[in-house]
Each structure stands twice: as C-alpha cells, then as structure tokens.
Structure 1
Amino acid sequence: MTKTGSNGPKARTRARQQHSQQKYTQALRSASPATPQNRPPGPAHRDDDARTFRLGDLLTECTTFPAVAIEDDNDKLSFGFESKILGCKIPSATVLSLAGALSREGIDTELAVESITHHSIVVTAPDWADFQRLEMSLTDEWTIPLCPVAHCSNHSMRYQYIDRCHTHLPQCDTATLIQMGTWWAQSHSDALAADPARTGGDRAADLLVKAAVHQGSSAELITVLLRTLFVDEADIDEIIWDEAEALDLRHAIGRERLRLNTSHETKPGAYARAQGHARPAAADPGPCPLPRPTRRSTAHPNAPAHQPYPTPAERCRRLNGQP
C-alpha cells in the first residue's frame, strides 16, 4: 500500500523538484521504480557506496527469488535469497523486519546503502522516516535502528522516540531534545494509562535532562516533560474534581520535578566523558587516615559494644566516684 498525504509519492516528488530545480514531470520520471532494464548492479562491499533502491523492489526479490541457505560463523542456518539489488545473500526474515520498521512509510520508500560487511548492511531511510539508519543482519534474522549520525555503529537508545545513542544525544540542540522528549513522554504516559504513581522515575527522562544540561535548557525540558507526562499544574483543579486525587497528582509532579532536577547532579561529567572530554584524574589522597574510634572505645572498657553513650549526668557521677 502506498502512503498518501504529506509523506506520499507526490509530496516526495515535489520535494525532489524543489531540490533539483526540475519540472514536476522530470522529477516524477526520475523517481520511477527501477525495472530489470534500468536497475543498477548490486553494490560493492565499500563504505562509500550510496546506491539507492526501493523497499518494494527488495520485497519483490524476497517473495519471488528461490530460497537459499545462509550459514553464520556458529553454523546456524537461516533461509533467504540471493539479492541482485544488494549483491549478496540476505535472510528473508531480515527483509521482512525492515519492511515492518518502515511500514508507515510504504513500499515506495527509497533506501540508500551506506556500508556492507560480511555480517550486516547499513541502509539509510529518508528524512521523514522514523528511523534514518538501520542495520540489517546478513547472517541472522533481525533489523535494528542505529544512531542517525553517519557511520555511527551504536544502536539508538529508545526504539522510535529517542533515536540518538548515548554518545551523540548530548550533541543535539535544544529543539531536538524537546521534540524527542515530547514524543517519548506522550508514549510513556499513554502506555502507563497516565497513572501518576508509575509515570515518573524513568531512565530515559534522566538521560534527556542530562543532555539538556549541556545546552543550558534543562529547566525548559523538565517543564515540557512534566506537562506531557502528567498535566499542566494550572489545569489540575479544572480537570480533576476529587481533592484527594488532585493532591496525589500534585505530589507525583513535585516528586518527579525534584528527581529530574537532581538526577543530572548524581554523576556530573558523565556525558562529558562520552563526548571525549574526560575529567582529570583525582589527586592522590595520601595514606588512609586512622579509623574513627568506635562507641566501645569511648565507653567503659568492659562495656558491651551495644551499650549507649553515657549521658552528661552519668559521666559526672562516674568522675565523682558515685554509682
């Protein structure tokens, strides 16, 4: 099924027309599906190859080409086909997994080969796709999203919403962080039925706030997260009439606000180390100091270890020889 609307073939043709300054018919002709006569040969095993193909053409190969056995280094067998588009064998389940990841974009989605190794192939999707870079296994049956930064081999942190890896998330600007935070918070709140007792405390929010600290926008991001995860505090009395329920919601928002404001202070410099700016090594503290005296050393020599400290009155009586 071909997707229509802002992400449909006509919209893509208009975008290509504006980029190349071509007429609409020329841009439409240049975007026509590949045929056996004009399809380019399979890509070579190089990292600088930018060959493109349609998802529908790869699915056609997957469903029509004869099945072949694919064996990995651990002698595990999977079944796939010899792709002429990719120039290598690929498991059928890997292609179907790719189609599932791009199901909202339709079979007309154009992909580009970024790199191919003996074990996987990295493809890039259009800018309007949910996943800009995906890694397809050539020996196993999976396709996973990668960090959208070119040639980064790290996986994205959160499926579909936070698409950067731990290294490149702090490099995002404020607008990108707020957009990712809004999408994640909406999904997280919906998944937990907007239950205040369970909505807060997620590690993804901590990572977003830590990244926003480097942009000086942590307060703005925390405000957006709280408003999206729960509700705007100014609207609580209008939305919730039950006083006890409204009070619980205010307490949940307050706890999460305090947690987010202090979470980035627990491990300062964590993202600085991820960006290659490691903190200097701590100075040698010198020899270990003598241990502190225990309670037993301050009490009577024969007193048990659990005996409490004597009160000032008891110490005075002992000094005067009184029982």
Structure 2
Amino acid sequence: MTRNKKRKTAVRAAQLATGHRYIRAARELATAPAQADQAFLLKELLAECATMPPADVDWGDLEGYGPAVFESVLLRTAVPYGTVLELAGALAREGTGAQLRLESLDPLESATITAGERRFQLILSQELVYELCRQLHCPHQPVNRTIIRCSEHLADCDEKELAAMAGEWGFALHEELGRDAPHRLGGSPEADLLLKAAVAQGAFELVSTSLLQACFEDPELIDEIFWDEEEALDMRHALERERIRLQRIARDEAQRARKKAGSCLVCGTQLVGAGLHIPPQYCSRDCVPPPASAPAFSEEPPF
C-alpha cells in the first residue's frame, strides 16, 4: 500500500472517530505524534473492540485477504479485532486495568505500544501481536520469554537483571529437560548470550552462578538431592563441564572486548586483562564509572 493511501485511510479514521471535516482531521492527524504519550487502559481498547462496527479499508495487494478491522479512536487507525484479543491474552496477568501508551504508529501496518516496561508490536494487517525488546524504540523481539531483551541490548542490563534472567532461564531448562539427562542441560546459545552480556558488566561470577545453580543444582546440595551416587556424580560432571565451557566463552569475550577497546576508556592504560570481575574496557575497578541512574521507563519520551 502506498504512503498516500495509508495517509488517506488514517485521515478517514480520524474523521469517523471525531466527526470533523476531512481538512481538520488531516491537520489534527499531522500533530498526533505529540499526543502519542497519552495513556489509556486495556479495557478501553477492549470496549472499542467489542462495540465498534467493522470498517472498510483499502488493503491494496491484500484486498480480499485483510482481517476484519474497526476504527480505533485510541490508536487512531484501523485495528484488527483479533489483534486486540491477542494483546489482551498477552497481558492476562496485568489484567484489563493495564495502562497502555502508543510509542509509534504506521497506519495499516503496525503500532508499537508500551504496558509498563513491556513493549508490543501490533500487526495491523494481520491478527498478530509480538512482544518486543524492552529497550525503548528497539524493533527486535527479545531472545525468548525469559530473556526479555534482544541479544543486542542484553549488555545494557545491570548485573542483577542479568542474574535474574540467568536464573529463570536455567530453571526453565531444568524443568524442560529434567534431572534424568544432566548432560543435555549445558551448551545452550541463550546461556552464551547471557554470559557475554555479563562479561560486559564485569558480572561473570554472579550471573554464571545463578545460571548453573538453577540449571543444574547447588553443588553443596547435590548429595542430598540424589540418593543414587552415580546420578549425583553425573550431575556434578555435567555442572563442571558447563562451568568450564562458560569460563572459556567469557575469557574469549573479554579478550575480544579488550582488543577492540585497546586501552582503558578512562585513564588510557593499555588493557592486558584484569579478570572477569571488571568490565573489559577498563583497567581496574577504580576506573569503572558508577552506574547511571536511568529514569523510569514510562518517563522516556514517546518519540
């Protein structure tokens, strides 16, 4: 669909929602991004979905295959009924009182909304919703439901966030694969992403310990958990193999980051390796800047 067609469709939607003349609706739509941070509730969007009649839109090449849509006043565009229901399902734990904000809009293509720290892409040409990385304006999906950032923005998490995600991912693996085959618990690419992000924060020990104890078992409790000595030994061997593998990945990642940086970002000292407890771009803990106090997610500008 051409940009002009999408623009006219969006203006018609604004006309229908407000009752204004076409020219006034077009002018108001032109200034709509400044109002995009206005909050609304999920139940208000559901009320629109339940009461608004089907709308006719020009789907261009998708004519005859486009989904049934209604003109949403809240989102200022045509929205598939099924997309709203998918969003409600994704926000089931938050409930219908979840507060939503429009982050960006491409009429008849997609809309990005935020719900607290969570971000969703609503596909407006299909009945689909994708959860996005929690980094504002990032177009990518998270690694998975447990690791809530994309691979590019994992390193932006602090050590506590990384440790929490590592523990949840390890527990998910443990639940899926069980204790009967501990050799299958190691080697996941998701664990590699988490540990590489941990290296960037100088948090290898904290994150790897969280992952290993959730994925395998706390080494101090293995003998209490397993009555069979062979099963306990298998678990210990699997845990140690994964620990060694993660250490190797972490050392390689730290070496790569040091080589890229060349010298300490603060004092200019040549980087020779200060251990995995220090971010590899710095020569010592003294040069590591304190963490910035980031504003709350909802306080970020919408565009």
> Number of residue pairs matched?
232
Greater Rg by CA: 1
What residue is the counterpart of 1:180 in the other structure? 165
Counterpart in the other structure of 1:91 = 80
Q: Is contact 2:166-2:208 (8 Å) kept?
A: no
1:110 and 2:95 aligned: no
Structure-1-length-normalised TM-score: 0.65
Instruction: Give 2:154's aligned amino acid.
Output: L
Distance in 2 (alpha carbons) for counterparts of 1:170 and 1:226: 19
| Structure 1: distance between partners of 2:57 and 2:246 | 48
CA contact (8 A) 1:69 1:78 kept: no
Task: Specify whether residues 47 and 169 from structure 1 end up closer, same or farther in structure 2 by C-alpha distance, changes over 3 A only.
Answer: farther
- The match for 1:170 is 155
Mapped pair 1:191 → 2:181? no
Cα shift at 1:69 = 5.0
- Which residue in 2 is equivalent to 1:247? 233
**1:222, CA displacement in angstroms?**
0.9
Map Cα deviations across residues 89-131 of structure 1 (whole Å, 9 max, x no partner).
Answer: 011111111111100111111101111113211111124xxxx
Question: By how many angstroms is 1:71 displaced?
Answer: 5.5
- Measure how far apart 1:246 and its partner are: 0.9
**Residue aligned with 1:233, SS:** coil
Alignment match, 1:55: 42
Q: Give the equivalent residue in structure 2 for 1:68.
A: 55
Q: Equivalents in 2 of 1:184, 1:210: separation in Å?
A: 15
Residue identity opposite 2:111 in structure 1:
I
Corresponding residue for 1:46? Answer: 33
Deviation at 1:197, TM superposition (A): 2.8
**Contact conserved, 1:47 with 1:115, CA < 8 A, in 2?**
no
Q: 2:63 aligned with 1:77, yes or no?
A: no
What CA distance in whole angstroms lies between the structure 2 residues aligned with 1:278 and 1:73? 50
- CA distance, structure 1, for counterparts of residue 199 and residue 252 of structure 2: 13
Report the structure, 1 or 2, having the larger helix content. Answer: 2
* Amino acid across the alignment from 2:43: G
- Do the aligned partners of residues 269 and 112 (structure 1) sit closer, same or farther apart at CA in structure 2, a change above 3 Å counting? farther
2: CA distance, partners of 1:269 / 1:155: 28
Aligned residue for 1:56, secondary structure, equals: helix
1:101 maps to which of 90, 95, 111: 90
Aligned AA (1:168): H
List per-residue Cα deviations over 1:176-221 (Å, max 9, x = no partner).
1111111222222212234413222111111000000011111221
Change (3 A) 1:99 1:79: same
Task: Tell me the TM-score normalized by structure 2.
Answer: 0.69
Bigger shift: 225-234 or 184-193?
Answer: 184-193
Equivalent position of 1:227 in the other structure: 213
Aligned-partner Cα distance in 1 for 2:257–2:133? 16
Aligned equivalents of 2:227 and 2:94: distance in 1?
A: 42
Query: Which residue of the partner structure matches residue 248 of structure 2?
Result: 262
For 1:68 and 1:110, locate their aligned partners in 2 and report how far apart those are by CA, in whole Å: 26
Corresponding letter in the other structure for 1:83 = S
- Structure 2 residue runs without a partner (length 5+): 1-16, 18-24, 263-303
Letter of the 1:52 partner, please give it. Answer: A
* 2:111 is equivalent to residue 125 of structure 1: no
How many Å apart are 1:263 and its aligned residue? 2.2
Q: How big is each residue's C-alpha offset from its partner over 1:42-64, in whole Å with a ceiling of 9 and x where there is no partner?
A: 98652762011111111121122
Alpha-carbon distance change, 71 to 112 in structure 1, aligned in 2, over 3 angstroms: same
